[in-house]
Structure 1
Amino acid sequence: MSRQQRQALDALLRSAPREETRPTPARQRASFAAAMTRPAPEGVATRRTALGGRPALDLEPAGAADRRRLLYFHGGGYLVGSPDTHAGLAGALAARAGLRATSVDYRLAPEHPFPAAVDDGLAAYRALLAGGADPRELVVAGDSAGGGLGIATLLAAREAGLPQPAAVVVFSPWVDLTLSGASMRAKEEADPIFSEADIRAYADLYVGAGDRSHPLASPVLADLSGLPPLLVQAGANEVLLDDAVRLAGRAGAADVAATLEIGPGLPHVYQHEHGRLDEADAALDRAARFLVGHLDAAVDPAEGSAEVVH
């Protein structure tokens, strides 16, 4: 059944119409919202809020832990997407982990180019800490550009002298705006969603004439030392595959506990298909266990005291 699901998903993604001329950002946002929005799962309450000076969406599963928090960054190439479009994905992860999540509506390009999104990510993380959140009870997650933003946020937090959270999970992270990964070209035919030209267009709008190798724009090129335990999940059929592979490899080389999972025959952010694709549900289950496991490990149950886990 899973193979049939993968094939059906690939065919569906390839059937999506492509416009000959690139639409305006406003039109792209509307199209993305219409195609991708999934509501929060049943049993997950949502509430409009603000965090770090930006609008945000709280997602609270029934029976969620009181203090533990998940900070989520949605994908969309830094151009499209919102907490609303990703309420289904963020809520599905939060529900599995039993965590209250906050998804940040960070500023988008081209109106707000790099480093606006990173500034918003850092402000959100700083606000959680300033509000009394214990970093050992915080975890971070994101997909696609949101995965890259999650890593960049933690790098910015490290440089600001802030403590790291207990763990971070990223789905199909976009972490190289220089587009130097070999899969950017080698996987074009296998990828049912993106081409190299698509990814380059997003990078053009986000960074423009700026330095695309800046460590907060392309965190795969950064020194990753000091980051928390990292889980990276990606599909084999995506041009961003090498972003995921190199991120996990460079994190491991920097003495960060890093786990890489590559799903055969799967597209970019296949976790969006939870409830419709067996691999998506299994991946979210593993991601939730990873986050909860590291939250549990940050507290010594014998002593009742917390210790930072790297």
Structure 2
Amino acid sequence: MADSQLGAITDLLRASPLDMGGDPHTMRIVFDEMIGSHPVPEDVRTMTVELGGVSAIEVTAGGGEVSGAVLYFHGGGYALGSAATSVDLAADIARRSRTTVYTVDYRLAPENPFPAAVDDALAAYRGLLDRGLPAEAITVSGESAGGGLALALLIALKDAGLPQPAAAAVLSPWADLTQSGRSHETKAAVDPALTRQALSTRADDYLTGADPRSPLASPLFADLRGLPPLLIQAGTYEILLDDAVRLAAKAADDDVAATLQTFPGAPHVFQGFSAVLAEGARALDQVGAFLRTHLDRQAAQAGPPLLAETASPTDGS
């Protein structure tokens, strides 16, 4: 059954009109229409908020009390996507981790090139701190380029002397904008969503001449010492597989607790299909458990309970 589900998702992605290397203005419309075709579950509540001057959507899901926060960054090659398009995936994480997820509308390239997205991520994190959430009550996450941005945020926090969050979970992270991973060649025939050429186009639009090896652009080349525990997930049918594998190795070399999980036959950001894909549901279960474990561990060490939050009413977002 699992192989059948994976095959169906792979076929769906191959037939998709989305071209990750295409004109960003056209592809943003395609991307939004694709995501908008999936109804958000009834237990999801959203509210538009501002974090440090950056727009975000606050997402809660399920019932019961939630505690702690996840600062989430959507994918799209730094050129596509939005907080709104990530609500479904953010809600899946909120439900499983029993947290409030804040998915960030960071500025997109080519209109706003590097380091605009990193600046927005840092501002949003400061915004959570300003709301009274201690760093140990915050985790970060993101998929694809958003996974790379989540890692860049951790590095920017270290550079700024700000406290690290409790943990980070990154899904199919784009951590190397030089495209030097061997899987760009070895997985090219089986990846139904991404190509080296498309990613090179998006990297050029984002960097506009900046060094692709800059640690804030390609966290794979950063000094990761001092970062919080990392959970890194990837499918084996994606050209970014080596970004995940090499990131885990670099983290271990830099004395960072890192857990790498690979899912055979799964494509890029397969977690987004968790409603119909067993591997996606299982991966998000592990994301939720990982984030909850580290939030609870930090709370136990700190003594007082994490700042509890109740579900916010929807504003129609």
Same fold (TM over 0.5): yes
Asked if 1:68 corresponds to 2:81, the answer is no
1:300 deviates by 2.7
Q: Is the 8 A contact 1:67 1:133 kept in 2?
A: no
Q: Is the 8 A contact 1:169 1:230 kept in 2?
A: yes
Asked if 1:24 corresponds to 2:23, the answer is yes
33 and 18 in structure 1: CA distance in 2 versus 1, 3 angstrom threshold: closer
Aligned residues: CA RMSD: 1.9
Asked if 1:251 corresponds to 2:256, the answer is no
Separation of aligned partners in 2, 1:18 and 1:145: 16
> Structure 1 stretches of 5 or more lacking a match?
none
> 1:261-272 counterparts in 2 under 5 A?
261-272=261-272
40 and 167 in structure 1: CA distance in 2 versus 1, 3 angstrom threshold: farther
Q: Is the 8 A contact 2:21 2:201 kept in 1?
A: no
> 1:137-216 counterparts in 2 under 5 A?
137-216=137-216
1:10 deviates by 1.1
Q: Which amino acid aligns with 1:53?
A: G
Separation of aligned partners in 1, 2:23 and 2:4: 36
Separation of aligned partners in 2, 1:83 and 1:73: 8
Q: Is the 8 A contact 1:65 1:100 kept in 2?
A: no
1:132-160 CA-partner distances (Å, limit 9, x unpaired) = 11111111110000000000011101110
Q: Which amino acid aligns with 2:253?
A: A
Q: Tell me the equivalent position of 1:304.
A: 303
> Mean alpha-carbon deviation: is it higher for 138-147 or for 39-48?
39-48
Q: Is the 8 A contact 2:167 2:228 kept in 1?
A: yes
Separation of aligned partners in 1, 2:81 and 2:199: 15
Work out the percentage of aligned pairs sharing the same amino acid: 48
The TM-score, its normalising length taken from structure 2, stands at 0.92
1:108 deviates by 0.1
Separation of aligned partners in 2, 1:207 and 1:3: 38
Q: Tell me the equivalent position of 2:309.
A: none
1:64 deviates by 5.5
Separation of aligned partners in 1, 2:64 and 2:189: 42
Separation of aligned partners in 2, 1:126 and 1:8: 41
Separation of aligned partners in 1, 2:11 and 2:81: 23
Q: Tell me the equivalent position of 2:117.
A: 117
Matched pairs, number: 305
> Structure 2 stretches of 5 or more lacking a match?
306-317
Separation of aligned partners in 2, 1:6 and 1:254: 35
291 and 64 in structure 1: CA distance in 2 versus 1, 3 angstrom threshold: farther
SS at match of 1:86: helix
1:76-112 CA-partner distances (Å, limit 9, x unpaired) = 0000000111111011111111111111100000000
Separation of aligned partners in 1, 2:16 and 2:44: 30
Q: Tell me the equivalent position of 2:80.
A: 80
40 and 52 in structure 1: CA distance in 2 versus 1, 3 angstrom threshold: farther
Q: Is the 8 A contact 2:66 2:98 kept in 1?
A: no
> Mean alpha-carbon deviation: is it higher for 54-63 or for 261-270?
54-63
Asked if 1:286 corresponds to 2:309, the answer is no
264 and 117 in structure 1: CA distance in 2 versus 1, 3 angstrom threshold: same
Q: Tell me the equivalent position of 2:9.
A: 9
1:40 deviates by 3.9
Q: Which amino acid aligns with 1:78?
A: Y
SS at match of 1:156: helix
1:18 deviates by 6.8
Q: Tell me the equivalent position of 2:92.
A: 92
Q: Tell me the equivalent position of 1:36.
A: 35
1:211 deviates by 0.7
1:208-247 CA-partner distances (Å, limit 9, x unpaired) = 2111110000001100011100000000000111001111
Q: Which amino acid aligns with 1:48?
A: T
Q: Which amino acid aligns with 2:52?
A: G
Separation of aligned partners in 2, 1:134 and 1:39: 34
Asked if 1:232 corresponds to 2:232, the answer is yes
Larger RCO: 1 or 2 (CA < 8 Å, sep 6+): 2
1:67 deviates by 4.4
Q: Tell me the equivalent position of 2:308.
A: none
Q: Tell me the equivalent position of 2:48.
A: 48
1:60 deviates by 1.6
82 and 139 in structure 1: CA distance in 2 versus 1, 3 angstrom threshold: same
